[in-house]
Structure 1
């Protein structure tokens, strides 16, 4: 079996003295590009189950719970109150 590479050289055109960097004279009109219509953006919607939310809440740190409670998260506030009640009961 024989493998041979094939390559083609593209001849370079000489640019004129008043030509721009693309080799086209500066006074020549630039080709207009057609604007393509925007493609619709595909958005995925993710829903977390109640069990996953409960697990996530149970696994969060005390620092994170305190920050959420300070931010007005009612569930975090209840969790902090419950933890304080358990500490007092010991």
Structure 2
């Protein structure tokens, strides 16, 4: 079992279509996904986030992308980090 992706089926809606029974890793890699995290988050180990993100993005045919924001913490209150996150989301969309 991975840090963020437990081995259990998920049910979710993607583009208005119900997707049932996917494993979490499959759901995150089969469909376009973006994870954004800061490297100074005191609640989550950045080392684990990096490993998880790299694992998912390197899977065959993965549509999972990630961005690590330098200096961003858990609540994105550090100077300039919120705008970096917003710009990343805009670029992704």
Category of TM-score, reference length = shorter chain: under 0.3
Q: TM-score, normalised to structure 2's length?
A: 0.20
Name the structure with the higher strand share. 2
Query: Which structure is higher in RCO with an 8 Å CA cutoff and minimum separation 6?
Result: 2
Work out which of the two has the higher radius of gyration on C-alpha atoms and give 1 or 2: 1
Name the structure with the higher helix share. 1
